[in-house]
Structure 1
Amino acid sequence: MNLFDKAKEALGKHPDQADQGVDKAAEAAKQRFGQHSDKIDQGTDKVKDFLHKQGGGQQEPPPQ
């Protein structure tokens, strides 16, 4: 099993933790590049959509 497969499996088991990690990274980016916060939010949404699709599509994305 390669690293990608392990990450995909972990996402399937812990989607809430993956979302928290993405949110934490977005907040750090906003602190550094605050003038681009709208782009950071757009990217965050796209990353979460991608992660939910890669996790097997077992769960719906959390409400925003």
Structure 2
Amino acid sequence: MAFLDKVKNLLSKNADKVDMAIDKAGDMVDKKTQGKYASHVDKAQEAAKKAIDKTDPQKPEA
């Protein structure tokens, strides 16, 4: 099993925890920048969550 396959497997097994980490990271960036880049942070969070969803073989793709 290749390294990336192992990473995808771990991400899919812990998708809920990864989502929370993405949210916390975005909140931290918003706090440090005083919300100046909030729209950009939100877009990055959504993109990261979509990428995680694609690695989850149990979730149907939209």
Q: What TM-score, normalized to structure 2? A: 0.78
Aligned 1:1-64 pairs, distance under 5 A: 1-33=1-33, 34-56=35-57, 58-59=58-59
Q: Within 2, Cα distance between the matches of 1:15 and 1:6?
A: 14
- Equivalenced residue count is 60
Unaligned runs of 5+ in 1: none
Runs ≥4 residues deviating over 6 A: none
**1:7 Cα deviation from its structure 2 partner:** 1.9
Which one has more relative contact order, counting CA pairs under 8 Å at least 6 apart? Answer: 2
**Could you tell me how far apart the structure 2 residues matched to 1:48 and 1:38 are?**
15
Structure 1 counterpart of 2:17, which letter?
Q
Change in CA separation of 1:12 and 1:31 when aligned onto 2, cut-off 3 Å? same
Q: What value does the CA root-mean-square deviation take over the aligned residues?
A: 1.9
Gapped regions of structure 2 (runs ≥ 5): none
Which letter maps to 1:8?
A: K
TM-superposed CA distance for 1:8, in Å, is: 1.0
